[in-house]
């Protein structure tokens, strides 16, 4: 699929300059077609649609996403949100003497919150000394035999920095701790192979770079842990004999479905399939290359216009989340919105996140409008 073909798939691109994919990926015609199909079946079959087409759609999504992430369908659970996925894992281990959890101040807050609410857990939040990343040595110093989880992000939502999962897995495992990765900001913009990553748990979801909308999360669990762990929050979707309706005996699924928490959001199952198909067809390597070209251009143009950027010095550590320092981020976002350009803001920064469907010309228009917003 070439760039022109891809752009035609996303109606928002005909209306706006859309540069906020790290918040919400664009909705495609393919996803809309899946959604229409879902609604039509709802009209036509009502609940009977569950016993055939909708169940099949769930299986389709699970297999397609598992293949995309480099794992097997049996190692992937579908949950309502990243927060829900993290909370199931946090409730799957006994803390005892191993009661420390290490994360960083650059991680998304919902990660730390899972343990901040547990009085029996000692939560260690590592500071960032440069505002961009946390040095692996800081993890190594904090993770020891008191540690239950090293829990952090693959791509930091705050700065776009891509963390070295191999190095962090080594640190966690040599101390006997689990390595849990919040991967919401990675799959769809950079290649991810969860099986090879060293992660014991990896969460992702269709909302952002996978262009699949809100309401679902994907949880990968390492093979041997799937059978070993028994979550203390659960649902009938986690039960091996889900349709036996036996209240007195609960046996979890043998595969990762044992981590699931009830009926999945079917509209999102459909939109996620549409988004995922397009990502698969374009190909993650091609997407990464294109996003590199777009972000290199953005960095170059923004710096040439006098902006300072909060980002990794080495371009290979950067992703397509670019933080442009600005004295008045809300004012700048409003200024750009008036000109049909959608970006976002975080403290002290305008956040620009292009995706494969954007063009160099759109980046130029964005930088031009940003420059005007400082006058």
Ligand X SMILES: Cc1ncc(COP(=O)(O)O)c(C=O)c1O
| Contacting residues toward ligand X, per CB under 6 A | 81-83, 108, 110, 153, 157, 182, 184-185, 205, 217
Tell me which H or E stretch contains 226.
helix 223-228
Q: Which is nearer to ligand X, 5 or 109 (CB)?
A: 109
Q: Which is nearer to ligand X, 86 or 369 (CB)?
A: 86
Q: What radius of gyration do the chain's Cα atoms show?
A: 21
Q: Which is nearer to ligand X, 118 or 146 (CB)?
A: 118
Q: Which is nearer to ligand X, 31 or 103 (CB)?
A: 103
DSSP β-ladder status, 122-126 and 100-104: parallel
**Measured from the CB of residue 185, what is the shortest distance to ligand X in angstroms?**
5
**Measured from the CB of residue 209, what is the shortest distance to ligand X in angstroms?**
10
> Using CA atoms, how far apart are residues 331 and 21, in angstroms rounded to an integer?
20
**Measured from the CB of residue 41, what is the shortest distance to ligand X in angstroms?**
26
**Measured from the CB of residue 62, what is the shortest distance to ligand X in angstroms?**
18
**Measured from the CB of residue 134, what is the shortest distance to ligand X in angstroms?**
15
> Using CA atoms, how far apart are residues 11 and 126, in angstroms rounded to an integer?
41
Q: Which is nearer to ligand X, 185 or 373 (CB)?
A: 185
Q: Which is nearer to ligand X, 81 or 301 (CB)?
A: 81
> Using CA atoms, how far apart are residues 95 and 111, in angstroms rounded to an integer?
17
| Inter-axis angle of helices 284-304 and 266-282, nearest 10 | 80
In this structure, the chain runs to a length of 375
User: What's the distance, Cα to Cα, between the start and end of the chain in Å?
Assistant: 40
Q: Which is nearer to ligand X, 108 or 307 (CB)?
A: 108
**Measured from the CB of residue 95, what is the shortest distance to ligand X in angstroms?**
22
Neighbours of 353 (CB within 10 A): 30
Phi-psi region of 348 (alpha: psi -120 to 50; beta: other; left: phi over 0): left
Contact indicator for 212, 271 with CB cutoff of 8 Å: yes
Give strand pairing partners of 252: 239
Contact indicator for 22, 350 with CB cutoff of 8 Å: no
Contact indicator for 150, 180 with CB cutoff of 8 Å: yes
Within 8 A by CB and 6+ apart from 219, the residues are 76, 77, 78, 79, 85, 88, 89, 201, 202, 203, 256, 259
**Measured from the CB of residue 229, what is the shortest distance to ligand X in angstroms?**
20
**Measured from the CB of residue 183, what is the shortest distance to ligand X in angstroms?**
8
Q: Which is nearer to ligand X, 41 or 111 (CB)?
A: 111
Structure tokens at 156: 């930091």
Q: Which is nearer to ligand X, 6 or 103 (CB)?
A: 103
Contact indicator for 171, 200 with CB cutoff of 8 Å: no
């Amino acid at each position: 699929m070439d760039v022109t073909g891809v752009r035609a798939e996303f109606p928002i691109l005909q209306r706006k300059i859309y540069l906020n994919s790290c918040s919400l990926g664009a909705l495609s015609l393919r996803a809309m077609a899946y959604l229409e199909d879902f609604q039509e079946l709802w009209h036509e079959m009502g609940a009977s649609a569950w016993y055939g087409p909708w169940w099949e759609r769930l299986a389709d999504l699970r297999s397609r996403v598992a293949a995309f992430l480099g794992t097997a369908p049996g190692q992937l659970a579908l949950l309502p949100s990243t927060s829900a996925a993290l909370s199931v894992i946090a409730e799957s281990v006994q803390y005892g003497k191993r009661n420390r959890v290490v994360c960083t101040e650059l991680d998304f807050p919902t990660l730390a919150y899972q343990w901040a609410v547990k009085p029996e857990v000692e939560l260690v939040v590592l500071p960032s000394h440069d505002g961009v990343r946390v040095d692996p040595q800081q993890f190594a110093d904090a993770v020891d035999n008191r540690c239950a989880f090293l829990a952090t992000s693959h791509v930091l939502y705050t700065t776009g920095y891509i963390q070295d999962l191999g190095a962090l897995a080594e640190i966690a495992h040599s101390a006997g701790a689990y390595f849990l990765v919040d991967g919401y900001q990675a799959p769809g913009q950079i290649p991810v192979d969860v099986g090879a990553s060293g992660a014991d748990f990896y969460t992702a979801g269709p909302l952002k770079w996978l262009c699949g909308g809100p309401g679902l999360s994907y949880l990968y669990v390492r093979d041997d842990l799937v059978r070993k762990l028994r979550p203390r929050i659960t649902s009938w979707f986690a039960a091996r004999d889900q349709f036996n309706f036996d209240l007195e005996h609960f046996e979890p699924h043998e595969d990762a479905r044992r981590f699931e928490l009830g009926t999945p959001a079917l509209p999102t199952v459909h939109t996620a399939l549409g988004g995922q198909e397009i990502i698969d067809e374009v190909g993650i390597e091609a997407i990464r290359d294109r996003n590199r070209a777009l972000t290199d251009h953005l960095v170059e143009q923004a710096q040439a216009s006098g902006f300072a950027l909060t980002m990794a010095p080495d371009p290979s550590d950067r992703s397509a989340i670019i933080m442009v320092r600005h004295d008045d981020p809300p004012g700048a976002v409003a200024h750009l919105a008036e000109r049909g350009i959608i970006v976002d803001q975080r403290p002290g920064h305008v956040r620009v996140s292009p995706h494969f469907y954007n063009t160099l010309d759109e980046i130029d228009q964005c930088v031009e409008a940003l420059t005007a917003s400082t006058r």
